[in-house]
Amino acid sequence: LNNNPSHYKITLSGTVKSPKINFDPPFLMLMPVPLDVKTETAINIIPQDYLRQSQIQVELPELELEDGDRIHPFSVQFPQGQEIVLSSDGTNKELICHISFRSSRPVSFLGNMFFIDEEEN
């Protein structure tokens, strides 16, 4: 300054936090029920480190039966919506998800359901 060039070195450091979601409970076991009877449970989806609003989508499994038929016995509902919202205190609100199963054919299943945000995380 004032015709006296000075060199300033600025060091920046930070932590990159990737958005993620956790589940409570972390896994789901639905009880056996008679054919064509619905069984249902609720899970809490706990978003973390989302800096902007996003929407959760769910990829539900398609099951193949012994005779080759394919069924979609699972369904999900979000009674309070699927939007991940940033609260005024900087945290993300939890979402409630109801997962149900109903089948008119005997079936058991062990597998994954995928919960995906708008950026395909």
Per-residue model confidence (pLDDT) at position 87? 82
Residue 112 has pLDDT above 70, yes or no: yes
DSSP H or E stretch at residue 83: strand 83-84
Q: What is the mean pLDDT of residues 58-78?
A: 93
Q: Which amino acid is at 60?
A: L
Residue 2 has pLDDT above 70, yes or no: no
pLDDT digits (tens, 9 = 90+) for 6-47: 677 788 888 878 888 999 999 888 888 999 999 999 999 999
Per-residue model confidence (pLDDT) at position 5? 67
Residue 1 has pLDDT above 60, yes or no: no
Q: Give pTM, 2 decimals.
A: 0.79
Q: What is the mean pLDDT of residues 101-113?
A: 90
Would you state the structure tokens that stand for residue 40, as one six-digit string?
């249902």
pLDDT digits (tens, 9 = 90+) for 45-59: 999 988 888 999 999
Would you state the structure tokens that stand for residue 55, as one six-digit string?
């929407």
- List the domains of the chain with CATH numbers: 21-116 (2.60.40)
